[in-house]
Structure formats: structure tokens, C-alpha cells
Structure 1
Amino acid sequence: KPKEDREWEKFKTKHITSQSVADFNCNRTMNDPAYTPDGQCKPVNTFIHSTTGPVKEICRRATGRVNKSSTQQFTLTTCKNPIRCKYSQSNTTNFICITCRDNYPVHFVKTGKC
């Protein structure tokens, strides 16, 4: 697989969820081995409640490596400040800033416009 595809697959796993806000649980999700590759709790992670299409659309016509803002707002859940891997959870609706590499989202930069 090309590098972009691998990075996009990783981005989807780390940042896109099909679960509703009501069903989403930071502790259950963040303690999954996919999010703790080195056995450490990740300090913060933002999840986008969406299908992959609208997120990938942000990177359409993005050549090279560039940060892009979404034109639509997404429902987001941020898991942060773990104390012994127990997370606080906050939900917002906002634009997102992501890094695109050749039409693929590869990194979540921040909540809000770039």
C-alpha cells in the first residue's frame, strides 16, 4: 500500500467514529490497544462523529502536505487528561483543521479553523 493509504487508514482508526455522541465512551475507546501502542495512555485524542466521506472531502485537490480547514462543522468528542487512564470527555460542534497529504487526511491538527 502507498504511504498515504496507510496513514489514512491510521487516521480513520484514530479519529473517525461511526458511534453517536450518546454511545461514545472515552474510557472504553481510549483503553483499546489501538490507542495505547506503547502501553501508555494517550494524553488527548479527538474523535470526529462522521462517515469517512466528508472528512476525506476536506483534502480533495490538496497536493503535497498541507493543513486544511473543513468547510462544514463536525460533531466532535475530545478525550483528555487521563488519570490512571480514566478520561474526561467533552463534546463540541466545530470546524476541524487536518493535515492532508496528496488528497488524504493524515493528521488531526486541532479543533477549529487552521
Structure 2
Amino acid sequence: LKVYMRTHIMRRYQKFLNQHQGPFVNVETCTSEIRSRNIVSETGDCKPVNSFIRAGEGAIAAVCSGGTQLYYNRNLFQSGTPFSVVTCRLQSGQWPNCEYYRGRLSTRYIVLGCEHGWPVHYQVM
């Protein structure tokens, strides 16, 4: 891979980890986690929904190499095992004073968008 491509993918991967990796995130900490990580929507407003995967970096990245490639989009991979996920939904406020409801904890197979073997997108199914 060219240096530019590698840098671009690593930047997206780091953003993905900031937005979606949270081994210690719990249902009580949605507002504080999203604020401290400065997670915003594409338009820079409060993000309506954000999911945190409660797993280590290695287990999440392994979905790109060991998961099932979904037929309708060659860059989407589904995990072979379920993950613990905390889903946070916006309650009120405008950035930077976004308030989130208590999170919802679920166990689910996750679907990630991968680029050159690195997760760069969490796909809500």
C-alpha cells in the first residue's frame, strides 16, 4: 500500500476505535463517553445513535479477517461470534451539550466495514 493510503486507512481506523470501541463502557456512561471522545454526527451535531463494542482492539479487528463477508457489499463483514454492545440514543441538547438516554446493552453479531483488513465503519443492521 502506498504511504498515503496506509495513513488514510489508519486515520479512519483510529476514528472508528474512538467512536465504537469501549471495553469498559456501560449503560450509565453514554453521555460522558460520547462527550469525552468528542463524537459528533457527519454534520458536527449531536450524533443520534452511537454503539460501543465492549471488546478489545484485537477481537474487533479480527472481524475483518475472520468474519463472514456479506454478499451485498464486499466490504462488510459479520462477526462469527456475538459481541456485547452498548447502544446510546440521543435524548436532547445541541452540541456540545448532548444528553443521551441510559444505554441499551445487547449481545449481537456485529457488521463492520473494512478497508485493507482494518475496521473503519460500524454498520447498523
RMSD (Å) for aligned C-alpha atoms: 2.3
Which secondary structure does the structure 1 equivalent of 2:124 belong to?
A: strand
Aligned-residue offset at 1:60: 1.6
Out of 4, 9, 18, the residue aligned to residue 9 of structure 2 is 4
Rg bigger for which structure? 2
The runs of at least 4 consecutive aligned structure 1 residues that moved more than 4 Å come to: none
Gaps of 5+ in 1: none
Out of 75, 87, 90, the residue aligned to residue 66 of structure 1 is 75
Equivalence for 2:40: 36
- Cα distance in 1, alignment partners of residues 77 and 51 from structure 2: 17
Q: Which piece of structure 1 moves more, 51-60 or 27-36?
A: 27-36
Aligned-residue offset at 1:21: 2.9
- Is 2:25–2:86's contact at 8 Å kept on the other side of the alignment? no
- Is 2:79–2:109's contact at 8 Å kept on the other side of the alignment? yes
1:31 maps to a residue whose letter is R
Identity of aligned residues (%): 26
More strand by share: 1
Aligned-residue offset at 1:42: 0.9
Which secondary structure does the structure 2 equivalent of 1:47 belong to?
A: strand
- Is 2:25–2:52's contact at 8 Å kept on the other side of the alignment? no
Gaps of 5+ in 2: 1-5, 68-73
- Cα distance in 1, alignment partners of residues 89 and 15 from structure 2: 20
Number of residues paired by the alignment? 108
Which secondary structure does the structure 2 equivalent of 1:72 belong to?
A: coil
- Is 1:49–1:74's contact at 8 Å kept on the other side of the alignment? yes
- Is 2:88–2:100's contact at 8 Å kept on the other side of the alignment? yes
2:100 maps to a residue whose letter is Y
Out of 26, 45, 51, the residue aligned to residue 50 of structure 2 is 45
Equivalence for 1:16: 21
